[in-house]
Amino acid sequence: MNPMMENCGFAAALKAIEGKWKVDILCELGRAARRFGRLRQAIPAISEKMLAQQLRELEADGLVDRTVYSSLPAKVVYSLTERGAALNVAAAALCAWGEAGGRGADGSSAVVDDAVVV
């Protein structure tokens, strides 16, 4: 990583959501807390193994909370932490930017001299 980017908050945010499925999982949990099976239904292309791995990573990064209820059978519910919800708010702005074709509100390109302006 570029030494100037090592302490950059933007780089840290990107690292937290790197991976093919994390954004999908965060978006789904942004709608409502979900059990594992409901997440699998909402994201049908993800395998059970990959979903479990991505959830563990998101939990380790403090973005997702895993709550186990003592019932038979055991009930596990995944939800966003405050940190995860804050990331979803920021991601919504990035989604809007991407849907606008990477252009600013005034229609100008966000690329200047081949460098992305952040």
pLDDT, one tens digit for every residue, the chain (118 residues): 566 556 678 888 888 888 889 999 999 999 999 999 999 999 999 999 999 999 999 999 999 999 999 888 889 999 999 999 999 888 888 878 888 886 655 666 555 444 444 4
Is residue 110 a contact partner of residue 116, using CB atoms and an 8 Å limit?
yes
pTM for this prediction: 0.75
What CATH number is given for 3-116 in this structure?
Answer: 1.10.10.10
Phi, psi for 65 (deg, rounded to 5): -105, 135
Q: Where are the domains of the chain?
A: 3-116
- Between CA 78 and CA 109 the distance in angstroms is 38
In 1-118, where does DSSP find H-type helix? 9-16, 22-31, 36-42, 48-60, 82-99
Which pLDDT does position 104 carry in this prediction?
59
Which pLDDT does position 108 carry in this prediction?
62
In angstroms, the Cα distances linking 17 to 1, 46, 76, 92, 107 are 16, 16, 22, 13, 27
